[in-house]
Amino acid sequence: MKRLPSLLVVLVLLGCGGSDSPSTPTPSFVNAAGLWTGTSRLDTVSGGDCVRTTMAALIGTTTNITVQITQSGSALTAMSTATATGDTAHYSGTAGTSSISLDWTQMSAGIVTGFRCSNGERRDMEVRTDAITATISGNTQTGTQASSWNIKVTGTGQAVGILFLNSSFTLRR
């Protein structure tokens, strides 16, 4: 019977992994970090008392935006800025293999007082929710943003509805 040379035995054992436990795959997350620029387009408006009619007139309009995303593994933080107004929104969320999901944490224009409806009535608006989902392919990010706002009669605080806004966006890094 022939014996295998010692070095060959060691190499064969190393090639087998040398362990009875299966290897754990390394998680893969999309690289979302960086400064993204592009446009957001208002797609739909619903609810919201008289604010809906005024906002519906803006369907199809675009806004230039920048989004700065910081990433640590799958954890994300982001700040979105409307270029024309300087309004900012801060988000936190997670990255998947090809997509990201973000929820707002703070918004500079999260409370709007005295919004004038097209019928002349005034309303106060306060953000309730704001969520972003996007797919990233290379240096292009496409996605949607959905937000909801409490609507109250200015000066009385009487709740009169909830406004729902949906937008789509395309960003490039």
The yes-or-no verdict on residue 119 having pLDDT over 90 is yes
Report the Cα–Cα distance between both ends of the chain, in Å, rounded. 65
The pLDDT score that the predictor gives to residue 62 is: 97
Q: Within 10 Å of residue 102's Cβ, how many Cβ atoms?
A: 26
- Please report, rounded to a whole number, the percentage of residues in the chain having pLDDT higher than 70: 84
Give a yes or no: residue 4 inside a domain. Answer: no
Which of 16-20, 38-42, 131-135 has the lowest average pLDDT?
16-20
Give a yes or no: residue 20 inside a domain. Answer: no
Mean pLDDT for 74-79 is 98
The yes-or-no verdict on residue 13 having pLDDT over 50 is no
Give a yes or no: residue 80 inside a domain. Answer: yes
Mean pLDDT for 79-88 is 93
Number of structural domains found in the chain: 1
Give a yes or no: residue 162 inside a domain. Answer: yes
- Please report, rounded to a whole number, the percentage of residues in the chain having pLDDT higher than 90: 81
Give a yes or no: residue 39 inside a domain. Answer: yes
Give a yes or no: residue 38 inside a domain. Answer: yes
Give a yes or no: residue 18 inside a domain. Answer: no
pLDDT tens, position by position, 28-70: 999 999 999 999 999 999 999 999 999 999 999 999 999 999 9
The yes-or-no verdict on residue 2 having pLDDT over 90 is no
Range of the domain at 65: 28-172
Backbone angles phi, psi at 10, to 5 degrees: -60, -45
DSSP codes of every residue in 15-31: HTTS-SSPPPPPP----
For residue 148, CA distances in Å to 47, 89, 171 come to 9, 14, 23
Which tokens sit at 2? 């022939």
Backbone angles phi, psi at 30, to 5 degrees: -65, 145
11 in the Ramachandran plot: left (φ > 0), alpha (ψ -120 to 50) or beta? alpha
Give a yes or no: residue 130 inside a domain. Answer: yes
- At 9, the pLDDT band (50, 70, 90 cuts) reads very low
Mean pLDDT for 127-142 is 97
